[in-house]
Amino acid sequence: MPEQKTVTLNMGPQHPSTHGVLRVVVELDGERVVKATPVVGYLHTGIEKTMESKLYYQALVCTDRMDYLAPMSNNLGYCLAVEKLMDIEVPEKVQWARVCLAELTRIKSHLVWLGTHSIDLGAMSMLLYTFRDRESIIDVYEACGGQRMMTSYIRIGGLAHELPVDFDKKVRRAVKQVNEGLADYENLLTNNEIFINRTRNVAVISAEDAIAWSLSGPMLRGSGVKHDLRKANPYSGYENFDFEIAYGEKGDAYDRYLLRLKEIRQSLRIINQALDGMPEGPYRARVPGVVLPPKEDVLYKMESMIFHFKIITEGFKAPVGSIYQAIESPKGELGFLITGDGSNRPRRVRVRPPSFINLASLPRLVEGGMFSDVVCAIGSIDIVLGEVDR
C-alpha cells in the first residue's frame, strides 16, 4: 500500500468566498480537512494606533471604517465609551434615536451576511434580493448623515445634528420593505433542501466550547447560550424596549441562519417601538467644554462659539484611567477599552473585535469535516475583515 500523504491547499487572500482578504491554509486528506490555519492581517490598517494620535472626537471617524457593514454600531460603541469616560449623560431622545439606528444597522449587516453567505452556498439570487432591501436602509443613512455608509452620525454626547424631517417616514418605509423581503428569503431558503443539506450539522460548536472559545453574538446564541448584552447589561436605554433574545439549539450553520432571521424580526419590533415612542428634546447633551454646542448656538452666542473653537482646536482632557464599554453589535460583543492619560488624546483605544475572536474558532469548526464546508463555516461566522484586522 502506498504511503498516505496529505495535500496542503492555500485559500486566499484573493478568494471570492472569503469575504475579503482572509487566507486559510488547509491541510487535506482526500476531501477531509485535517488542519486549517487562518492567516489574517491582510487588511491591517493600524486603526488603534491612528486613534491614539487623534483627539477624542476625531478618532470617531476611524470607527466607521472598522466594521464597515455596521458603521453606526461602531459609532455607538465608541461614543458610549467616551461618554462613560467623561461621565456624560445624554438626553432621552438621543438614546431612542440611537437604538433605532443601531437596530437598523443590525438589519443592514445581517442582510449583507445573508446575501454573501447564500451566494457562497450556491443561491445566487439571494444577493440581489438582500441588496435591494438594503438600499432602503441606506436611504435612512443618507438622510441622516449625507453619506451612504460612513455617516459618523452618532457623535460624542449626542447626534451630529437634528434627525431629518422625514426620518419617521423613511424608517417606516425601510421597515416595510425589509418585512416584505423577509418573506421572500424564507420562501427561498428556509425549506430549501439544498440549503439545508449544505448547512445542517455543519460547523457545529457546543455551548461549552463556544464559551471556552470566547465566542459572542450569534455564534454564542446559536449554541443555545441565552446571552445578549442588550438584556444582560443594558446600554443606551435598551431596558425600555420589549424584545426577545433569539437563540438556537444545535449550534450549526443552519441554526445560526434561523437565528439571524429571528434577530432581524426582533430588530424590526424594536424599531417600531422606538418610532412610536420617540420623545421630544435636544439632540445633544449640554456639557460645556466636552460636547460640541449645537450649530445654531455657535452662530449667535459668544460662549458657544468659544467652546466650539476650544473643542475643535484642542479637544478635551480625559481623566487617568481605563474604562470598558461593550455593546451587542451584529457580529457579537463589540467592546471599546479607552484609556485616558490626562491629555486630550487617548493613551490607548482597544477594540474588542467580535469577528476576530469568533474567527479564532475556525479550526475547531472545520477540522474533521469536508473541504466544501469550510466556505460554509467561514460564512456562518459572519466575519468582516476590516474588523478582524483593524
Partner 1 sequence: MGIEEKIPDSIILTTLDKMVNWSHRRSMWPLGFGLACCAIEMMSTFAPHFDLARYGMEVMRPSPRQADLMIVAGRVSMKMAPVIKTLYEQMPNPKWVIAMGACASCGGVFNNYAVLQGVDRIIPVDIYVPGCPPRPEQLMDGILKLYEKVDKESLKDKREDWGRRVG
Partner 2 sequence: MEEQVRGFIKDRFGEAVIREDDFRGEQSFYIKQEALVEICQAFLEDNELQVTFLSDITAVDWLGHERENEGRFELIYNLYSLTHAHRFFLKVHLPSEAPRIASLCDLWPGANWMEREVFDLFGVEFVGHPDLTRILTPDDLEGHPLRKDFPLTYEQPQFSWNKDEPPEVIR
Residue 263 touching partner 1 (CB under 8 A): no
Q: Select the residue interacting with partner 1 from 10, 14, 37, 197 (CB under 8 A).
A: 14
Residue 200 touching partner 1 (CB under 8 A): no
Site string for partner 1, 33-52 (x = CB under 8 A): --------xxxxxxx-xx--
What is the footprint of partner 2 within residues 51-110 (CB under 8 A)? 53, 84-85, 87
Give dist(CA 252, CA 203) in Å, integer: 5
Rg (alpha carbons) of the chain, rounded to whole number: 22
Per partner kind, with CB cut-offs from 5 to 8 A, the member of partner 1, partner 2, none near residue 364 is partner 2
Q: Are 283 and 93 in contact (CB under 8 A)?
A: yes
Pairing label, strands 332-340, 348-352:
antiparallel
What is the footprint of partner 1 within residues 109-138 (CB under 8 A)? 112, 127-128, 131-132, 134-135
Task: Please count the residues of the chain.
Answer: 390
- Helix axis angle for 92-120 and 167-185, nearest 10°, is 30
Task: Kindly tell me which of 48 and 168 has the beta carbon lying closer to partner 2.
Answer: 48
Q: Select the residue interacting with partner 2 from 194, 232, 299, 312 (CB under 8 A).
A: 232
Assigned C-alpha cell, 107? 438589519
What is the footprint of partner 1 within residues 71-110 (CB under 8 A)? none
Q: Are 351 and 390 in contact (CB under 8 A)?
A: yes
CB of 13: closest distance to partner 1 in angstroms?
Answer: 6
DSSP secondary structure string for all residues of 265-309: HHHHHHHHHHHHT---S-SB---TTTSPPPHHHHHH-HHHHHHHH
Per partner kind, with CB cut-offs from 5 to 8 A, the member of partner 1, partner 2, none near residue 385 is partner 1
CB of 91: closest distance to partner 1 in angstroms?
Answer: 30
Residue 363, preceding peptide bond in cis (omega within 30° of 0): no
**Cell numbers 441554526 correspond to what residue?**
255
Task: Kindly tell me which of 31 and 249 has the beta carbon lying closer to partner 2.
Answer: 249
Q: Are 154 and 72 in contact (CB under 8 A)?
A: yes
CB of 166: closest distance to partner 2 in angstroms?
Answer: 38
DSSP letter at 138 equals: H
**Cell numbers 425549506 correspond to what residue?**
191
Interface with partner 2 (CB under 8 A):
40-41, 44, 46, 48-50, 53, 84-85, 87, 211-215, 225, 227, 232-233, 319-324, 326, 333, 335, 337, 339, 341, 347-348, 350, 352, 356-357, 359-361, 364, 389-390
Interface with partner 1 (CB under 8 A):
13-16, 20-21, 41-47, 49-50, 61-62, 65, 68-69, 112, 127-128, 131-132, 134-135, 148-150, 385-386, 389
